[in-house]
Structure 1
Amino acid sequence: MIKKYWKDFLSLLYPELCYNCDVALVEGEDKVCLRCYRDFPLSNYHQSEPNPLVQIAAGNEKVKGGYCYMKFNKHGVAQKLLHEVKYKGNSAIGVLLGEWFGKYLEKELTTLELDGIIPVPLHKTKRRKRGYNQSEIIAKGIQNVTGLKILNEALIRTKNASTQTKKGKVERWQNVDSLYKVVDKESIERKKVLLIDDVITTGATISMAAEVLAESGVNEIYFACIASGK
């Protein structure tokens, strides 16, 4: 009881603010206020035909579906929250985003009967600098809701270079093996996996990773991201 009173007293002096609108949070709210949460710009891409996330992987027949939590808008809530995760070391928000995403997709993911989640990997140098892979943190949140296994060791990034998004599509495919490599083929052969990244913009990064997985024997691949401007 004393602990609760002390916590309430501190919240009066140092209120926790919504990361989107800066309004003081009340009991029961976490990171964003209820109003902002209700106004999330949900994408519902998985209900669209054609699915814009599947279209970015045209030519890869193993990509069967795509799921995006929010539409990406400049200075919008998705950008603000992901900025906290990627550049301010706020991994707790990453986990929470994954949990919200997992609840948003819980019915769909259960129906798919997936074998696991593969976070799009960071190069070890970038991971060391950031302290974690943001896609893996988000995957942990999804796991908390769904119980899906995270296949962290299946795929690695072999080069610490920016995605070559200015190159043509054919040229990007020709360079796919130089960016990603499957190191545990047995863990993914004949499996159905959710390949997750934090943001999908051009789609080059996740498409390259999907191509390597397809060549290594994965049966079905489903894209997932917290935000996309597609």
Structure 2
Amino acid sequence: MKLQRSYLADFVSLLFPELCAACRESLVANEYLICTDCHYNLPYTNFHLQSDNIVARQFWGKINTTAAFALFYFTKGGKIQNLMHQFKYNGMQQIGNLLGSIAAGQLAKTEVFNTVDFIIPVPLHTKRLKQRGYNQSACFAYGLAPKLNAVVEENNLIRAKATLTQTHKSRFARFENMQDVFEIKNPEKLKNKHILLVDDVITTGSTLEACGQQLLKIEGLKLSIATIAYAE
């Protein structure tokens, strides 16, 4: 019976091959979402080894961050763009969980990220959440949490106002677009805690900065940041 199921699975895979979400080549046995070649050769940043990395420097003089990190470099037309497209627009939310687990494997090796209490995903407005069906940043957060021994706090930081897309806006326009957008429902729960704020891709950092400004109003809060990718 097991042999028959194996033959059936092989036959189905010939007709409808599963493709790597990054390179779009066929996956082989025991590969999941991302092929082995991509898993080892995607453009990792290794920012967990650099306290003054590019992402951290984006927030200098703007908000006080304890640490900042991005897993990959993002370039237009590259494999990470393919991966993020499948994740955000083709319903493959399991990609976020996988990338969170990969990122956590790196972050767990650093002392600073091992002190995180809560992981907070950048929230979507309720209208956007209803359209997409899931928050991609939350998927990433839930992938991070187990290896960091942290708790995902998904509904405390909320997006109170819908905003226009940030695409093609200047840095200043992006910053202006994000003013007074976010609110915190239960600040007492976050007092004196180390918060890891997470998002999918960081470009100018204006969304994360706006979230961070609200979080840092809370007494004793320490803020770190992690994203899936950094857009060069």
Instruction: Report the TM-score, using the length of structure 1 for normalisation.
Output: 0.89
**Partners of 2:111 and 2:155 in 1: how far apart?**
22
RMSD: 2.4
Range that drifts further, 130-139 or 99-108: 99-108
Counterpart of 1:78 (choices 77, 80, 97) is 80
Output aligned runs, 1:10-49, within 5 Å: 10-48=12-50
TM-superposed deviation, 1:46: 3.2
Contact (CA 8 Å) 1:180, 1:209: kept in 2 or not?
yes
Any runs of at least 4 consecutive aligned residues in structure 1 with deviations exceeding 4 A, and if so which?
none
The answer as to 2:171 corresponding to 1:172 is no
Structure 1: 5+ residue stretches without partners: none
Amino acid at match of 2:33: K
For 1:62 and 1:173, how far apart are their aligned partners in 2? 20
Tell me the residue number matched to 1:100: 102
- 2:211 is matched with 209
Q: Percent identity?
A: 33
- Offset of residue 145 of structure 1: 3.5
Matched, 1:129 2:138: no
Report the Cα offset of residue 154 of structure 1: 1.7
**Contact 1:155-1:180 at 8 Å conserved across structures:** yes
Stretches of structure 2 that go unaligned for 5 or more consecutive residues are none
Q: Is residue 226 of structure 1 aligned with residue 232 of structure 2?
A: no
User: 2:120 is aligned with what amino acid?
Assistant: I
Q: Deviations over 1:20-75 (max 9, x none)?
A: 33322111111121111111101122333532222222235531111110000111
Letter in 1 for 2:143: G
Cα shift at 1:109: 6.4
Mapped to 2, the partners of 1:39 and 1:174 lie a distance apart of: 36
Question: C-alpha distance in 2, partners of 1:222/1:208?
Answer: 14
For residue 205 of structure 1, what is the amino acid of its counterpart?
T
Deviation (angstroms), 1:3: 2.8
Residue 164 (structure 2) aligns with = 162
Offset of residue 106 of structure 1: 2.3
- Classify the secondary structure of the residue corresponding to 1:23: coil
Which string of whole-angstrom CA distances, capped at 9 and with x for unpartnered residues, describes residues 70-100 of structure 1? Answer: 0001111211111112111211222222122
Distance 2:148 2:220 in 1: 21
Q: 1:218 to 1:105 in 2, by over 3 A?
A: same
Contact kept in structure 1, 2:88 and 2:136, CA below 8 Å: yes
Q: 1:108: Cα distance to partner?
A: 2.1
Would the aligned equivalents of 2:125 and 2:162 in 1 still touch at CA under 8 Å? yes
**What residue number does 1:185 align with?**
187
Given candidates 4, 7, 10, the residue that maps to 1:5 is 7
In structure 2, C-alpha distance between the alignment counterparts of 1:14 and 1:114, rounded to whole Å: 42
Normalising by structure 2, report the TM-score: 0.88
In 1, the alpha carbon distance for the partners of 2:134 and 2:209 equals 22
